Amino acid sequence: MSDYSPRRSVLYMPSSNPKALEKAKTLPVDAIIFDLEDAVAPGAKDEARAAAAAAVGSGEYGGRELVIRVNGVGTEWHAADLVAAAKAGPDAILVPKVGSADQVRALATALEWAGAPERTQLWAMIETPGAIFDVREIAAASPRLAVLVMGTNDLVKELYAQHVPGRAPVHVSLQLSVLAARAAGIAILDGVYNDVRDTDGFLAECRQGRELGFDGKTLIHPGQVEGANTAFAPSAAEVEEAEGILQAWEDGAGTGVVTYNGRMIENLHVETAQRVLDMQAAIRGR
């Protein structure tokens, strides 16, 4: 059985914005992140915390995965956020600016103490230079940790780098993080694209994210949902090829190597083809 969960489109919204909370119920997103951190002004933190918990408990978001992003460890809001989020019992609690494997283990323990249901996963944002150096240990630190989420805005800020098309300044960080997630067997989501009017630039970054191996992209605007859903799903051509490969393998039963459209097919290609079909089935089932 496949362990693939569609997380092609993962939309942040400020939990202090009732219009966005309402709008999200109508959007074909795979997951929603109710933000309590950067998108919420200090004076609105209490109200946002209550709104996020109410949204998670409302039962009005269908099959979408629901995630609460708490304020970071060491901030004045972190403890209250974590307790409220644990009590609300979303699918996951996302912690920003995670810095080490020890911190992940401490967060997992804190979630237990706070009474988070077992099904509530821990997600960690990778968005500091220290996290990039420790990302392999972070990714493998706790069975509760299920997803890494790139925070490319904070990363660019911390590196004194610049946002440029193609993202060369953060390429190494993106690739190290994908390697770490795959080595640990967990999922990983790409960072956000800030210019909500630049569709071409956004789609190019989605394609790049998919090529690098990300499972999906974090988003900031409803206008980005459709592009991400398409980019991170197998295309019709990929599905057709996967079916052809499985058929060719079945036809050549037991030979160890066959050809499909003139290309060598071995067991590993069959596994990749099966994964494409599993992804397609999971997306259809959503």
User: Does 239 participate in binding ligand LIB3CWND (rule CB under 6 A)?
Assistant: no
Q: For residue 142, give every residue at least 6 positions away whose Cβ sits within 8 Å of its Cβ, in sequence order, or none.
A: 104, 105, 107, 108, 122
Q: Which CB, 9 or 128, lies closer to Mg ion?
A: 128
Contact present, 228 and 217 (Cβ < 8 Å): yes
Q: Which two structure tokens, joined as six digits, stand for 111?
A: 């979630």
User: Does 91 participate in binding ligand LIB3CWND (rule CB under 6 A)?
Assistant: no
Q: Which CB, 25 or 263, lies closer to ligand LIB3CWND?
A: 25
Q: Which CB, 217 or 269, lies closer to ligand LIB3CWND?
A: 217
User: Does 222 participate in binding ligand LIB3CWND (rule CB under 6 A)?
Assistant: yes
**Annotated binding-site residue? 119:** no
**Annotated binding-site residue? 46:** no
Of 81, 154, 205, 215, the residue at the interface with ligand LIB3CWND (CB under 6 A) is 154
**Annotated binding-site residue? 69:** yes
User: Does 158 participate in binding ligand LIB3CWND (rule CB under 6 A)?
Assistant: no
Of 30, 81, 134, 154, the residue at the interface with Mg ion (CB under 5 A) is 154
User: Does 190 participate in binding Mg ion (rule CB under 5 A)?
Assistant: no
User: Does 151 participate in binding Mg ion (rule CB under 5 A)?
Assistant: yes
Q: Which CB, 160 or 285, lies closer to Mg ion?
A: 160
CB burial of 248-283 (b: ≥16 within 10 Å; e: otherwise) equals: bbeeeeeeeebebeeeebeeebbeebeebbbbbebb
Minimum Å gap between C-beta 270 and ligand LIB3CWND is: 37
- Length of the chain, in residues: 286
Q: Which three-class secondary structure string do you get for 98-117? A: CCCHHHHHHHHHHHHHCCCC
User: Does 99 participate in binding ligand LIB3CWND (rule CB under 6 A)?
Assistant: no
Dihedrals phi, psi of 234, to nearest 5 degrees: -65, 135
Minimum Å gap between C-beta 115 and Mg ion is: 27
Minimum Å gap between C-beta 154 and ligand LIB3CWND is: 4
Of 152, 173, 177, 229, the residue at the interface with ligand LIB3CWND (CB under 6 A) is 152
Residue 81 interacts with, from Mg ion, ligand LIB3CWND, none (CB under 5-8 Å by kind) = none
Which 20-79 residues touch ligand LIB3CWND, going by CB under 6 A? Answer: 20, 23-24, 35, 38-39
Q: Using CB positions, name the residue nearest to ligand LIB3CWND.
A: 153
Q: Which residues of the shown chain bind ligand LIB3CWND in the complex (CB under 6 A)? A: 11-14, 19-20, 23-24, 35, 38-39, 96, 127, 151-154, 191-192, 196, 220-222
Summarize the annotated binding site for substrate as residue ranges.
69, 127
